[in-house]
Structure 1
């Protein structure tokens, strides 16, 4: 191969490898909050950081990044827990199990006392294992309306053996696990609702858009309040409907964050609760399919955001300075950290976590999108694509023009 072709190829290969290995650029994030850690911080000690409402308002949830002196710090995020006497341990009843090509378990949890929710389900196994589990929750065994995937494991003394139920009122649990998992479910936990563990915001209900078999309610959410749960109040007490909830995830794109059948009985309380598959902080809409039934009259909508905590290991030196939380990048992908690089459930419970607090929010003075990251990288790739197409068309036109000239000359001779 000629040297003039080899050098550009080597240059492109080097650039590509640098792009793939380049760490996250903090200048891509519009907002920043420094962290203040209380107490003496030991090397590799566990640190707990509670998020505030300001973070949810200006972040896009998947763009949360903890740094120490500019280096990315892996973390685990979970709903805040109230450690008090209000937590109760109960025993689930196994209604059904099947262990063929897919292991299926259906559990029934005891009836909930007023003001309590189910928070966690414990899982055990007599030997080391790892498995992916699909969790489904519902009001009865015929109708599961909530679903998510979880990863469980036991490696010697290290284990992830609890499933977060997200503060649900659903009493029926269906779990689909990989073959050979052989799971047991010795206990579930429920706790009283604590107003200090979540934020609520009421939204004005405007007239719906009516279609042949559904009605659609739109909510602008001007304050950009983040939420993971919807509470709906209707004039009607008893009903069952197919419901779809869609949220805006950027200026143009919508995403379906819930789709399923919701049942409500006035004996269960005023509100019907809908857990969403992801956190929404923008405009949203609720579609209620009536079918042949009378249209329901929605009177109140409340969005609920559980208080969340981030857990991470301190740096090897145990220094408390230099920690910061960056956010405010709608193009940032969800974090993906090696599970051994952040505290597990057992490590969180068995260690005296030091508390980190968020200081005042500031706009990142270094904010400017890099050419190597979205959206600039997308614009750059699009530009090169069209430039390449234009170059090919130009070369094709030049070749055709040359051939035509040759044909014209040969005909004239």
Structure 2
């Protein structure tokens, strides 16, 4: 075979290999966790994985890399939600209907018990139909404050027989449909509001360090518990103060993660919540500036970390072995995946989602920074830069020395 044909063939195989597999340089990550998958895993099925405190303690968030047999798996990350499994079914009352040029229906839903919201409204018809419906919600039939348009149909046994009400407390529903739909509304559904999940840790409040215009509270956070929110409780009920929160980023340096005015009123509850600009996993301090006011008495501090979960597609073989999560590289660039390569938000809400569990954390035995990746690559680039500067200086010095020698000879 001639060489001119061999080169394009080798290039083709190189491009193909790169397009079909993306191995991870696992030696760049200090920690890893194996995954355990439960249930019957279907090929390319959706898997949900809850992150734990080890991840927040040792990862740098953007450095999370999920792998199957060493190859990167795209994933989607979001705040974990607790979805209520107890759904109640109730019967709406039809207050009004008109079937002329436009079909109009007004429904009243039963009163809501404490803590529940309406989630769905079922729709049926004796005939096949398709219609665009304008849905309006309100607290009374005189004023509807929310509105949206939905499309419903019934083609034989195929039907879209539910309208999503979106966890509303509005009890009155007005529907405007195209003529000939002849709709019925046999039931409505209500459930507890979906809520985000958190883990909390209470920190011991030591005596403050008093200064001229502020007091400083130190918290060692010896367990290195990760958090993004602080909840503060004071003996005083109504107050307004400038507050600064700083976290330690190394043995000597501190980084400010909140700096602003905090106002608290008795009617707002016991705690004042302070959102931080980044996740803290180290020693931290709270500075409260009293100015000319009396010093506030801090009685309780709770750190809060929203739990997060990862969704990804299982491998094409449906195998439950070979999955791992790598992290612990402060120089790793944030993950960026094609949105079609991981499950959509709709797919994450189905009953087909399987659960994954993170096993015990272990230090990666292959950990050692590569010369092709930061920080080694950065050090090498800096070294080559200074070598280049020294080489130019040496060349310039040689030229100047040569010219000086020529001038000396000419003068002599």
TM-score range, shorter chain: 0.5 to 0.7
The normalised TM-score by structure 1 is: 0.64
How far did 1:272 drift? 0.9
How far did 1:211 drift? 5.1
How far did 1:342 drift? 1.8
How far did 1:85 drift? 6.4
Q: Give unpaired runs (5+ residues) of structure 1.
A: 1-17, 89-112, 117-188
How far did 1:215 drift? 3.7
In structure 1, what is the Cα distance between the partners aligned to 2:37 and 2:85? Answer: 28
The normalised TM-score by structure 2 is: 0.64
In structure 2, what is the Cα distance between the partners aligned to 1:44 and 1:30? Answer: 29
How far did 1:281 drift? 1.2
Query: What CA RMSD, in Å, does the superposition of the two structures yield over aligned residues?
Result: 3.2
Alpha carbons 2:74, 2:312 under 8 Å: kept:
yes
Give the structure 2 partner of residue 7 of structure 1: none
How far did 1:280 drift? 1.7
Give the structure 1 partner of residue 257 of structure 2: 257
Give the structure 2 partner of residue 79 of structure 1: 79
Is the counterpart of residue 402 in structure 1 residue 402 in structure 2? yes
Is the counterpart of residue 343 in structure 1 residue 343 in structure 2? yes
Give the structure 1 partner of residue 4 of structure 2: none
How far did 1:324 drift? 0.5
Alpha carbons 2:23, 2:70 under 8 Å: kept:
no
- Helix, strand or coil for the counterpart of 2:346? helix
- Helix, strand or coil for the counterpart of 2:205? coil
Is the counterpart of residue 48 in structure 1 residue 48 in structure 2? yes
Q: Deviations over 1:257-307 (max 9, x none)?
A: 333332212232221111223322123232333344333232322111222
Q: Deviations over 1:123-162 (max 9, x none)?
A: xxxxxxxxxxxxxxxxxxxxxxxxxxxxxxxxxxxxxxxx
Alpha carbons 1:75, 1:342 under 8 Å: kept:
yes
Distance 1:211 1:392, change over 3 A: farther
Number of residue pairs matched? 295
Q: Give unpaired runs (5+ residues) of structure 2.
A: 1-17, 89-112, 116-190
Give the structure 2 partner of residue 334 of structure 1: 334
Alpha carbons 2:84, 2:192 under 8 Å: kept:
no
Alpha carbons 2:81, 2:195 under 8 Å: kept:
no
- Helix, strand or coil for the counterpart of 1:360? strand
In structure 2, what is the Cα distance between the partners aligned to 1:74 and 1:192? Answer: 26
Distance 1:289 1:191, change over 3 A: farther
Distance 1:81 1:254, change over 3 A: same
Larger Rg computed on CA atoms: 2
Equivalences for 1:213-292 in 2 at 5 Å?
213-249=213-249, 254-292=254-292
Give the structure 2 partner of residue 68 of structure 1: 68
Q: Deviations over 1:300-341 (max 9, x none)?
A: 221112222111111233222211011122222322222222
Distance 1:308 1:266, change over 3 A: same
Q: Deviations over 1:236-273 (max 9, x none)?
A: 21112233333345566654433333221223222111
